Amino acid sequence: MSETRPQWGSRVGFILAAAGSAVGLGNIWKFPYITGENGGGWFVLIYLVCIAVIGLPIMMAEIFIGRTAQNSPVGAIRSLSRPGSPWIGVGWLGVLTAFVILSYYSVIAGWAMHYVFLSVEGGFAGLDKTQVDTIFAEFSADPMRSVFWHVLFMFITFAIVVGGVKRGVERSARILMPALCLMMVALVIHSIGSDGFKPALDFVFAPHNENFHWGPATLEALGHAFFTLSLGMGAMITYGSYLKRDDDLVTTSVTVCTLDTVIALLACMVIFPIIFTYGMEPDAGPGLVFKSLPLAFGKMAGGAIWATVFFLLLTFAALTSGISLLEVAASYFIDERGWSRFKASSICAAVILLMGVPTALSAGTKLFGSGFAQMTSIVFGENNGKDWFGVFDYISSNWMLPLGGLFISLFVAWRVSGEARERGFKSGTKFDRMFWGWVFLLRFIVPFGVIAVFLNLIGFFDLIGLTGE
Ligand code: PFF
């Protein structure tokens, strides 16, 4: 297997691709709005702690598995345990999660692409709040347009993955990631001059108690750490499997986590200054990027240009993440079933495309929207029903990723032989003294944190009156 296994052209190529997977809608769309909803500063601090003590060790564990086994998740876990071991189920769960996440991720990425076009046309200039809200509501509820952008995004993702690890995934990351960073820097510089910059700095980096409840905030930060770092479904196992065995595990993981965190914070420093300059509220929820921002762009000098840059940035970020999701799905069929890369990526992309159609129709049809929500209220409680998109998003990011992350850390900490664990960690790194710290976090802190998330999801903390509300 290892002679024919594709490899990254260089370590920088790997870092760009892995950071490309991590940096996505999670950083630019979701992180700012959950920071806004949770009151800013304290939430950001807790999030940074979660990244350092939970996210980073799991990222190292995933890259460790892939790099050691030189195989995609299912085969990698098999070769580090034994054929028929129940741990292999973790690999299966990862492949399934890739299908589920990419199916709705692609729909939101499609919205971002559509907004690039609206911005180029100068689409938000002079509009009032109702008009901007209507643009979003009408577009997301229009089956033809939603499906069209979803199909286009899936097609581009497929076209890159089919090119292979070096010529497709790595090459695209080498172009898209520097472009993304440049656009981010330009947007931040533009924000620095605005009236809202100081209040935004204060909101994001100074402690505030308003809207902040440490229990729910901690759990939200922890859950988001998995999603934003692409952990818990084997994306980093897959990307790690294209590394050489003596590539440094510690510095690569630290670099990827740092890049992801810096981009998430910079996204806040782009979005909140705009929000505060135009007197809007930071806690607008998921509509922050698709409704509040366009309204502000419409009022800004040169707004069409800035809006175009922003939504292009969002599209690029989503694309490099979508690529990693499709790569996880396709690599399973390539490594385990012996399919050609073309067959694996085209069939996976087609299945994901079909799975995403109901999401694209969630806002516009009763069947997958309000009707579906009514049905699922049996499970989620009255008035809490979710449409198709909501169900997929909820199950994958709240349950499947943390569950996968939990098992991956338990696997590396308790199941892999001590000798393989130590040799794997220490090969190629100067930081071998961090080994025991890593094992300690994986053995005790990660399981404790993830189990707390699950207890919260099933309402345990409400039951014992610990939610802090
Ligand atoms: N990390 C991506 C984001 O923040 O948008 C989402 C993601 C990509 C999750 C790849 C999982 C994954 F395997």
Phi-psi region of 300 (alpha: psi -120 to 50; beta: other; left: phi over 0): beta
Which is it for the CA torsion 359, 360, 366, 370, positive or negative? positive
What average pLDDT does the structure give for the chain? Answer: 92
Which is it for the CA torsion 338, 339, 342, 344, positive or negative? negative
C-alpha 133 chain-centroid distance = 26
How far apart CA 237 and CA 260 sit, in angstroms, is: 18
- Given a contact cutoff of 8 angstroms between Cβ atoms, the answer to whether 58 and 227 are in contact is no
How far apart CA 158 and CA 147 sit, in angstroms, is: 16
- Given a contact cutoff of 8 angstroms between Cβ atoms, the answer to whether 204 and 35 are in contact is yes
Cβ neighbour number for residue 4 with a 10 Å cutoff: 5
Average pLDDT over residues 360-381: 82
pLDDT (tens digit, 9 = 90+) per residue, 162-192? 999 999 999 999 999 999 999 999 999 999 9
pLDDT (tens digit, 9 = 90+) per residue, 417-467? 999 999 999 998 999 999 999 999 999 999 999 998 888 878 887 788 766
How far apart CA 40 and CA 453 sit, in angstroms, is: 21
pLDDT at residue 1, as a whole number: 45
C-alpha 338 chain-centroid distance = 29
Sequence-distant (≥ 6) Cβ neighbours of residue 314 within 8 angstroms:
25, 28, 29, 112, 115, 289
pLDDT (tens digit, 9 = 90+) per residue, 74-104? 999 999 999 999 999 999 999 999 999 999 9
Question: Which domains can be identified in the chain, with CATH numbers?
Answer: 11-464 (1.10.4160)
Closest CA to 280 of 21, 3, 36, 2: 36
Ligand 1, residues 21, 263, 399: which to mutate, most atoms within 8 A of Cβ?
Answer: 21
**Which residue has a Cα nearest atom 7 of ligand 1?**
230
How far apart CA 428 and CA 469 sit, in angstroms, is: 48
> Which element (helix H / strand E) includes 273?
helix 249-277
Cβ neighbour number for residue 265 with a 10 Å cutoff: 19
3-state secondary structure at position 153: helix
Top pLDDT among 175 and 219 is at 175
For ligand 1, the distance from its centroid to the CA atom of residue 219, given in whole angstroms, is: 18
Ligand 1 atom with minimal separation from the 27 CA: 4
Is 357's pLDDT higher than 80?
Answer: yes
For ligand 1, the distance from its centroid to the CA atom of residue 427, given in whole angstroms, is: 28
Ligand 1 atom with minimal separation from the 328 CA: 13
Q: Where residue 379 falls among pLDDT bands split at 50, 70, 90?
A: confident
Average pLDDT over residues 193-213: 92
For ligand 1, the distance from its centroid to the CA atom of residue 319, given in whole angstroms, is: 10
Ligand 1, residues 230, 259, 326, 352: which to mutate, most atoms within 8 A of Cβ?
Answer: 230
Six-digit token string for 233: 């479904």
pLDDT (tens digit, 9 = 90+) per residue, 124-137? 998 998 999 999 99
Ligand 1 atom with minimal separation from the 233 CA: 13
User: What lines the ligand 1 site, CB under 6 Å?
Assistant: 21-22, 24-27, 101, 227-228, 230, 233, 235, 321, 324-325
Average pLDDT over residues 2-23: 90
For ligand 1, the distance from its centroid to the CA atom of residue 230, given in whole angstroms, is: 4
Is 468's pLDDT higher than 70?
Answer: no
Nearest 5°: the CA angle 272, 278, 280 is 65
Nearest 5°: the CA angle 242, 67, 56 is 110
pLDDT at residue 2, as a whole number: 43
**Which residue has a Cα nearest atom 12 of ligand 1?**
230
For ligand 1, the distance from its centroid to the CA atom of residue 433, given in whole angstroms, is: 30
pTM: 0.93
Q: Tell me the CA end-to-end span of the chain in Å, nearest whole number.
A: 54
Average pLDDT over residues 390-406: 90
For ligand 1, the distance from its centroid to the CA atom of residue 111, given in whole angstroms, is: 17
Cβ neighbour number for residue 190 with a 10 Å cutoff: 19
Average pLDDT over residues 13-34: 96
Closest CA to 64 of 455, 423, 430, 454: 423
For ligand 1, the distance from its centroid to the CA atom of residue 278, given in whole angstroms, is: 31
Ligand 1 atom with minimal separation from the 318 CA: 5
pLDDT (tens digit, 9 = 90+) per residue, 37-81? 999 999 999 999 999 999 999 999 999 999 999 999 999 999 999
pLDDT at residue 54, as a whole number: 96
